[in-house]
Amino acid sequence: MKYLCYDSAINGEYTLIQLMHRYPKHINLFSGTDDERIWDAAPWLFELNSNPYELRGQSMIQVEHCIIFETTEPVKNALEYLQSKIYITENRQDKYFRIWDARVLLKHIQFWNQDELNDFFSVFNNCYIENEDPDSLNKWQWKRGNQVEAIKISKVKTLPLIKTEEELDRELEEGNKKEVKSEEVEKKSIEEDEQKPKHRKFFMD
């Protein structure tokens, strides 16, 4: 599953609301913490079934410095890992590590040691960050040891449209309705033909 990590503090509340409508499965990255109440300035995870960058075709939409995390783990595990990185205590002071900001993650991930990379990639298979080419993403993956690499990949291939179960059920239901209606029209046509008066036929010798 792929999750868009969206920073509403950078991109704004308007886009956040549009994403919530488009992707009903979402969670506040501060969920369960003292910061949960600041939902309109928090980072969010959205379960993707399409390309979120397509929203840029609409006015007022901003999807900047986002990350797409790919994982086979339940969202609960991904959330717990990210929160363990966000809240850091140094010299008895609580600090934020903005792991949800693509610029911050890129700055640090290339210098993480093997243990840190192992922790990250044991939760996430890959992560994707926008390339300078607007149609592409950089797919970041663990190469070996303490090395990571970025592979340029198409957004279309990475983020295909995946219909939800609800959408598939709706299409099946609509298809069944059309089939029933077609059968009813055909049956009515046959009945009307049978009810038409029979005309006597005359044959010429």
Q: What residues pair up with 128 in beta bridges, in sequence order?
A: 68, 139
pLDDT tens by residue, 139-193: 999 988 888 999 999 999 999 877 555 655 665 677 667 666 666 666 676 666 6
Q: What is the pLDDT of residue 5?
A: 98
Closest CA to 47 of 18, 63, 70: 70
Q: What is the pLDDT of residue 131?
A: 96
Tell me the pairing of strands 43-47 and 2-7. antiparallel
Stretch (H or E) spanning 30: none
Q: What is the pLDDT of residue 192?
A: 67
Query: Distance between CA atoms of 108 and 93, rounded to whole angstroms?
Result: 21
Is 174 within 8 Å of 193 (Cβ atoms)?
A: no
Tell me the pairing of strands 43-47 and 26-28. antiparallel
pLDDT tens by residue, 23-52: 999 999 999 998 999 888 999 999 999 999
Query: Distance between CA atoms of 100 and 103, rounded to whole angstroms?
Result: 9
**pLDDT class for 77, splitting at 50, 70, 90?**
very high
Q: What is the pLDDT of residue 167?
A: 54
Q: What is the pLDDT of residue 83?
A: 94
DSSP 8-state symbol, 177: H
Closest CA to 119 of 134, 136, 99: 99
Residue percentage of the chain with pLDDT more than 70: 80
* Residue 71: how many other CB atoms lie within 10 Å: 19
Q: What tokens were used for 98? A: 């903005």
DSSP 8-state symbol, 101: S
The yes-or-no verdict on residue 84 having pLDDT over 70 is yes
Where do the H-state alpha helices sit in 87-128?
Answer: 102-109, 114-123
Q: What residues pair up with 2 in beta bridges, in sequence order?
A: 70
**pLDDT class for 205, splitting at 50, 70, 90?**
very low
Give how far the C-alpha of residue 199 lies from the chain's centroid of Cα atoms, to the nearest Å.
66
Query: Distance between CA atoms of 78 and 122, rounded to whole angstroms?
Result: 10
